[in-house]
């Protein structure tokens, strides 16, 4: 009767091992191992040993999802088993994806044009319909969604300031979605609200504000954090703008460098300043703002009768990775009584490194700071903080005292409720993954990550600065991990600097990028900047990247670009 | 040599069955089964059958996490096995949490005051430190975070407009965090960008705009969606405000009802209109705006020389669940050439129901609509859409044409890039869980969910409208699932309506709520409204709720309030 007696005990596993040995790809192997696992946990052989319902319900079993639908899952009656089986199946898809993401033999992406995906790929149909699909189809859709996506955690994905797939951060996000709550009150997010408070305080300490005093909030991204800074600055100097609007205050102007992030201009447009009143400052050849230009433009604005309100200093510009000289800007802000904001969305992470934090020297003099852990610190998207030195401004600026949400007569200390500080009502829990990563790595773990990324970019810089066919966009070692360069194909190397060369060089990076994406081997961004034609911007924030990936990138650019 | 020959084949499972039978709680049982599973997958018995490394690495095994750290996980060398073991352990915690959430014998919350959690609960320490914690501690932290949180998916959680834990939505969020990408370009989110596009079109079709034409974007929440509507309205009528600011345009006024969401006022403050230029309209006793009051106030504003720009009609107010008469408001918007926005953050979901969508009649005449699937449709937070009838406005309003992000010379059709429509730069993927739920439920699945929630609120209304000790805040059947009522304890029942009674009644709901939270049995919101003292606002969007939960709520309020 026992399956064990009817089978030689070692036979099935030997069979499986043999099967495995024939297959070399990790993907293939993991699929087989999964199916092996399924068979073992549901086959008659083992069933005979696990014939109790109570036992088998919580293990992954072979489930026929083709006859199951969303309505069969919890809270449906008897929904527990299909729910668990479905979730475990999803987890199997996800863990396979995670594994493959770190495997360099996996492509970064499997590129398709929009029309191709819209027409439907082998049973992957994006259209929504009246009737439900089976859970089997839903699982196929999950697999296909990942298949046709981009592996932003792949060691050779360098396309964005946010890259990498941190396992602790991922676990944190899974938990966050399972908890599915809202940051607006302590009442429904007690633990997360406290984590946010403690983490923001720690960040303020690291910025250098005395005792970590001040305020802050996590927002849905750096652009909105920057928008907060402009709002709070306006409220500090012209609180009447909140009630009476921008027509009741003098013409206010904001200053930011030509290399800064476009979100300052977006804020100017959105908040009623007008883009014309966002004055762009000149940068030096390295992308750092020129303080003398700031002072000249402040004086010019005042002569016109405008009121200089706000200066944004960027700590880590998007393209060059430049750090504006914060101390010199702070002097001018003090002299002219202006708000100093530091946009450290990209470069704020360097504060965690004793070796590199001097690049943000003077940040402790800022009135507000944007700092996105989802960029340089490798936290999953979205995780951005706006930190404000003066307490009470965020609340004063944004509160509307909605009685239905923020009842003063609750049984707990309602100063912990955060909703009235925010421009949002409901607010996603962005803190947990970050808090968990900090616990798991320690402050020193973040420091090591930052230092390693900067070492890698130094390695890249040293490798290409004198290499044939490579031309640096600016001289000298980059301040951040941004390395900006042109690849000059052999056909252009002899050519003098003329309009034709510029035009042809302008097309090189887009062509190489297109080929990269179509071959799926790696991804790196490019753009023009000012009068400079398209160049590659390499950035490293991915903890999976190594020197060999840098070598690969260089060789891949040469391989794809040699005949252009 | 074989473990199978050295053990009678049925012995170990019989032992386990016996053990299981002694334990009755589901929680206890699931823990045992997990540990049974662990033992079986890692015990010597089975190991002998699975002694190949390639086989055993992908199954959950007994792992000693006390000596493992984040640095041992992928991308570390040999990081694959600990990574998989760690993730599976996290999933075990999460699936246990999911199971218990749907179990009515589980508490909704285990309430603690902020100072208690801050002081540290039995080894749960929120403070961040220099040095890393072991993965064992990280797992403990995950368990504790859930333990001290609030189960927003519990069948008896009625505290917020967003409630419930949809399993498909949850799976969608897990996948989204694993993909960890960014909506700003097709380049790095091809599938998600197309899903967003198709889903927004479907939503516009359901609104009733011809062929689903128009535009839209998912934003981080209803408040920001509403903010978009005001920005786009301003851009449509006064595009120069984008470049020159609010001081270059006439004094613009916005209209919204006194019952509407505070985000319209927040938008007025943030965008430079000023709160004083957000004119509040009177509502009837049911919370619906009075169109005659709107017209009177439009005329009054014009007489003062102001320009009426924008009317917000709420489809489902936050407290009463009232639907403003959209058609009548649309007539006035046409007559006075104003932008009509419908804030359907809460009530938009009713469009999915053939039975209830008439409550939003006229919505097809709106210029823009806010619709939060994360509320009435049960999608996990965050998922909010702003939909705009006229194409091109979102882009025109927000674009800054940042060359480093939105290169026109990419190899694919860059009109699919969404970044320049948004006030954000990076944008979280909010679409996938919603798209997946729609696939899994079908349009009819959402319809059934909506209808069921409204039936439940009707059940509640009928049950308490004449019940002793209950007093309705407004007469007649609610339009949405909001049921607003006072519980009048026996001590107040005989008392005539005087200031003392009002003062005492005002304190009843907060007291009952505090007791509810401390006993952890259920959660429902309360608030004052206008001159009405604190009353309970019951809302139902949780698919797990049943009539028995409604009965429970009523009895629990009576139990807790009888001696007040």
Shared domain check, B340 and B307 = yes
* Whether the predicted pLDDT of A553 surpasses 90: yes
Three-state SS sequence of A289-331: ECHHHHHHHHHHHHHCCCEEEEEEEEECCCCCCCECCHHHHHH
CB < 8 Å to B507, chain A? 409
The alpha carbons of chain B give a radius of gyration, in whole angstroms, of: 28
pLDDT in tens, A299-329: 999 999 999 999 999 999 999 999 999 999 9
**B505 near B531, Cβ under 8 Å?**
no
**CA distances in angstroms from B202 to B132, B318, B368, B404, listed in the order given:** 47, 25, 15, 32
Cis peptide before B282 (omega within 30 of 0): no
What is the Cα Rg of chain A in Å?
28
Tell me the CATH number at A280: 3.40.640.10
- Whether B472 and B418 map to the same domain: the answer is no
Alpha-carbon span A237 to A254, nearest angstrom: 13
- pLDDT surpasses 70 at B364: yes
Distance (Å, whole) CA A65 – CA A137 = 8
Same domain? For B482 and B342 the reply is: no
B404 and B452 fall within a common domain: no
Handedness of CA B10, B15, B21, B27 (dihedral sign): negative
* Domain C-terminal end among A439, A464, A489: A439
Question: Domain for residue A136, yes or no?
Answer: no
Residue A58 scores a pLDDT above 70: no
- With tokens 């790595």, the residue in question is A441
CB A264 within 8 A of CB A230: yes
Structure-derived torsion over alpha carbons of residues A150, A155, A159, A160, reported in degrees to the nearest 10: 90
Q: Which of B20, B277, B424 sits opposite A54 (nearest CB)?
A: B20
pLDDT tens-digit readout, B166-210: 999 999 999 999 999 999 999 999 999 999 999 999 999 999 999
pLDDT in tens, A240-261: 999 999 999 999 999 999 999 9
DSSP strand pairing (A483-487 vs A470-472):
antiparallel
- Joined together, the tokens standing for residue B533 give 């003292």
Chain centroid offset of residue B9 CA: 50
Asked if B280 reaches chain A (Cβ–Cβ under 8 Å), the answer is no
Instruction: Report the C-alpha gap between B44 and B54 in whole angstroms.
Output: 17
The answer to whether B75 faces chain A, any CB pair under 8 Å, is yes
pLDDT at site B121:
83
Per-residue model confidence as pLDDT tens digits over B11-61: 333 333 333 333 334 444 344 334 334 433 433 333 333 333 333 335 667
Binary contact (B49, A402; C-beta < 8 A): no
Instruction: Give the pLDDT score at A123.
Output: 81
Residue from B169, B316, B409 whose CB has the most chain A CBs within 10 Å, to mutate: B409
Q: 3-state DSSP call for residue A529? A: strand
Tokens matching residue B375: 């509320």
When divided into structural domains, chain A yields a total of 2
- Is B146 inside any structural domain? no
B74 close to A (CB below 8 A): yes
Q: State the smallest CA–CA distance between residue A64 and chain B in angstroms.
A: 16
Kindly report the nearest CA distance between residue B396 and chain A, in angstroms: 11
pLDDT at res. A56: 34
Mention every residue, 6+ apart, whose C-beta is less than 8 A from residue B97.
A178, A179, B146
Residues facing B387 on adjacent strands: B216, B369
pLDDT in tens, A285-307: 999 999 999 999 999 999 999 99
Residue B357 shares a structural domain with residue B419: yes
Query: What are the structure tokens assigned to B108, written together?
Result: 């909704």
* Mean pLDDT of the residues in chain B: 90
- Taking only the tens place, the pLDDT of each residue in B296-325 is 999 999 999 999 999 999 999 999 999 999
What is the predicted pLDDT for the residue at A33? 36
DSSP letters of B301-339?
HHHTT-EEEEEEEEBS-TTT--B--HHHHHHHHHHHT-E
Beta-bridge partners for A41: none
* Closest by Cβ to B190, choosing from A148, A277, A528: A148
Nearest-by-Cβ selection for B413 from A75, A114, A251: A114
Closest-CA distance of chain A to residue B460, Å: 20
Phi, psi at A442, each rounded to 5°: 75, 165
Of A389 and A400, which is predicted with more confidence?
Answer: A389
d(CA B356, CA A490): 68
SS3 of chain A: helix, strand, coil, percent, to 5: 50, 10, 40
- Contact predicate A112/B190, CB 8 Å: yes
Give the whole-angstrom CA distance, residue B437 versus residue A76: 16
Q: Which A residues, 322 through 341, put their C-beta within 8 Å of a C-beta on chain B?
A: none
Q: Are residues B540 and B397 in the same domain?
A: no
DSSP B175-244: HHHHH---TT-TTT-HHHHHHHHHHHHHHHHHHT-GGG-SEEEEESSHHHHHHHHHHHHHHHH-THHHHH
Q: Which of B84, B425, B527 sits opposite A221 (nearest CB)?
A: B425
Least confident of A72-76, A81-85, B399-403: B399-403
Angle (CA) B285-B370-A128 rounded to 5° is: 125
From the CB of residue B553, how many other CB atoms can be counted at a distance below 10 Å?
23
Structure tokens, A385: 């903080």
Task: Looking at the structure, tell me whether residues B307 and B349 fall in a common domain.
Answer: yes
| Residues composing chain B | 564
Judge contact between A71 and A133, C-beta under 8 A. Answer: no
Q: DSSP secondary-structure letter at A380?
A: P
pLDDT at B120: 83
Q: What is the mean predicted confidence (pLDDT) over A197-207?
A: 98
Positions of E strands within B397-475:
470-472
Q: A interface mutation test: which of B107, B192, B274, B484 has the most A CBs within 10 A?
A: B274
Nearest CA to B484 out of B493, B497, B492, B475 is that of B475
Check if the beta carbon of residue A36 is closer than 8 Å to that of residue B55. Answer: yes
Do residues B395 and B298 share a domain? yes
Structural domain contains residue A346: yes
Average pLDDT value for residue range B352-362: 98
For residue B233, tell me if it sits in a domain. yes
> In percent, how much of chain A has pLDDT > 70?
88
The whole-angstrom separation of Cα B493 and Cα B484 is 18
Which three-class secondary structure state does DSSP give residue B383? coil
From residue B532, alpha-carbon distances to B157, B285, B425, B505, B506 in Å are 24, 11, 43, 10, 9
Nearest CA among B289, B263, B294, B299 for reference residue B279: B294
How far is A119 from A112, CA to CA, in rounded Å? 11
> Is residue B273 one of the residues assigned to a domain?
yes
Instruction: Look up the ipTM and state it.
Output: 0.91
Cβ burial, residue B397 (10 Å; 0-12/13-18/19+): buried
Contacts of A292 (CB under 8 A, 6+ apart): none
pLDDT tens digits, one per residue of B78-104: 999 999 999 999 999 999 999 999 999
Domain membership of residue A299 (yes or no) is: yes
At residue B388, the 3 state secondary structure works out as: strand
Name which of A70, A61, A69 is nearest A88 in CA terms.
A61
- Cα B513 to Cα B501: distance, rounded to the nearest angstrom: 19
Residue B296 sits at the vertex; the CA angle it makes with B295 and B301, to the nearest 5 degrees, is 95
The answer to whether residue A41 sits within a structural domain is yes
Check B425 against A73: CB less than 8 A apart.
Answer: no
Query: Within an 8 Å CB–CB cutoff, is residue B24 touching chain A?
Result: no
- Identify the residue with better confidence: B257 or A124: B257
Q: What value does the mean pLDDT take over residues A352-365? A: 98
CA nearest to B343, candidates B430, B431, B222 = B222
Among A379, A414, A439, the domain boundary falls at A439
Could you tell me if residue A82 is inside a domain? no
DSSP A360: G
Tens digits of per-residue pLDDT, B393-424? 999 999 987 666 677 889 999 999 999 999 99
CB proximity B229 to A under 8 Å: no
| Tens-digit pLDDT profile for residues A10-53 | 333 333 333 333 333 434 434 433 433 443 343 333 333 333 33
Q: Check whether B287 has a pLDDT greater than 90.
A: yes
Q: Structure tokens of B200?
A: 């927004």
Q: How far apart are CA A369 and CA B427, in angstroms?
A: 20
More confident residue, B402 or A75: A75
Taking every pair of Cα atoms in chain B, the longest distance, rounded to a whole number of angstroms, is 98
- Are B416 and B445 in a shared domain? no
B380 and B259 in a common domain = yes
**Domain boundary, last residue among B11, B39, B62:** B62
Q: What are phi and psi for residue B519, nearest 5 degrees?
A: -85, -20
| Mean confidence (pLDDT) of chain A | 90
Identify whether residues B343 and B387 lie together within a single domain.
Answer: yes
Residues B359-384 have a mean pLDDT of 98
Say what the pLDDT of residue B314 is: 98
| B417 lies in the same domain as B448 | no
Q: Nearest-CA neighbor of A60 among B385, B124, B88? A: B88
**Stretch A524-553: mean pLDDT, rounded?**
97
If one counts every other C-beta atom within 10 angstroms of the C-beta of residue A522, the result is 23
Kindly list the residues from chain A whose CB atom is less than 8 angstroms away from the CB atom of residue B118.
194
Q: Residue B82: list chain A partners with CB under 8 A.
A: none
Could you say which DSSP state residue A489 is in?
-
Closest approach of chain B CAs to the CA of A92, in angstroms? 9
Question: Helices H, strands E: what count in chain B?
Answer: 20, 12
**Domain encompassing residue B297:** 182-425
């Amino acid at each position: 009767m026992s399956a064990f007696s009817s089978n030689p005990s070692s036979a099935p596993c030997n069979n499986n091992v043999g099967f495995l040995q024939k297959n070399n790809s990790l993907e293939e192997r993991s699929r087989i191992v999964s199916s092996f696992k399924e068979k073992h946990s549901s086959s008659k052989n083992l069933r005979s040993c696990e014939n109790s319902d109570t036992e088998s319900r919580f293990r992954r079993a072979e489930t026929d999802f083709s006859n199951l639908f969303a309505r069969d899952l919890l809270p449906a009656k008897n929904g527990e088993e299909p729910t668990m089986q479905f979730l475990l199946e999803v987890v199997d898809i996800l863990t396979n994806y995670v594994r493959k993401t770190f495997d360099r033999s996996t492509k970064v992406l499997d590129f398709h044009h929009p029309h191709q995906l819209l027409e439907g790929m082998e049973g992957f149909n994006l259209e929504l319909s009246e009737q439900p699909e089976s859970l089997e189809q839903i699982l196929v859709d999950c697999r296909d969604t990942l298949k046709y996506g981009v592996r932003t955690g792949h060691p050779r994905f360098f396309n964005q300031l946010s890259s990498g797939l941190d396992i602790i951060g991922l676990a944190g996000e899974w938990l966050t979605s399972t908890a599915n709550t809202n940051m607006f009150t302590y009442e429904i997010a007690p633990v997360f609200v406290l984590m946010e408070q403690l983490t923001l305080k720690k960040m303020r300490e690291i910025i250098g504000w005395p005792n970590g005093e001040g305020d802050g909030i996590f927002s849905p991204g750096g652009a909105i954090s920057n928008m907060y800074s402009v709002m709070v600055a306006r409220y500090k100097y012209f609180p009447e703008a909140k009630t009476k609007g921008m027509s009741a205050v003098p013409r206010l102007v904001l200053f930011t460098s030509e290399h800064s992030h476009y979100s300052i201009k977006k804020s100017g447009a959105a908040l009623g300043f007008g883009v014309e009143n966002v004055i762009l400052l000149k940068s030096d050849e390295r992308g750092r703002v020129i303080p003398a230009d700031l002072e000249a433009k402040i004086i010019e604005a005042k002569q016109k009768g405008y009121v200089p309100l706000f200066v944004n200093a960027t700590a880590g510009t998007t393209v060059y990775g430049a750090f504006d000289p914060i101390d010199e800007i702070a002097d001018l802000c003090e002299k002219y009584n202006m708000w100093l904001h530091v946009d450290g969305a990209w470069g704020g992470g360097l504060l965690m490194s004793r070796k590199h934090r001097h690049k943000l020297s003077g940040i402790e003099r800022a009135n507000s700071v944007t700092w996105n852990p989802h960029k340089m610190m490798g936290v999953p998207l979205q995780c951005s903080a706006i930190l404000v030195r003066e307490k009470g401004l965020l609340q004063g600026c944004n509160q509307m005292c909605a009685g239905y949400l923020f009842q003063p007569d609750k049984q707990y200390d309602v100063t912990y409720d955060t909703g009235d500080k925010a421009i949002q009502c409901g607010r996603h829990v962005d803190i947990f993954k970050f808090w968990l990563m900090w616990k798991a790595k320690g402050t020193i773990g973040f420091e090591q990550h930052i230092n390693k990324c900067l070492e890698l970019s130094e390695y890249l810089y040293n490798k290409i600065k004198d290499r044939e066919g490579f031309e640096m966009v600016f001289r000298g070692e980059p301040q951040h991990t941004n390395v900006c360069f042109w690849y000059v194909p052999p056909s252009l190397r002899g050519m003098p600097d003329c309009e034709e060369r510029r035009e042809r060089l302008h097309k090189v990076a887009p062509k190489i990028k297109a080929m990269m994406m179509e071959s799926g081997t790696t991804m790196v961004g490019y753009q023009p900047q000012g009068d400079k034609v398209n160049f590659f911007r390499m950035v490293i924030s991915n903890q999976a990247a190594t020197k060999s990936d840098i070598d690969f990138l260089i060789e891949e650019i040469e391989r794809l670009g040699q005949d252009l």
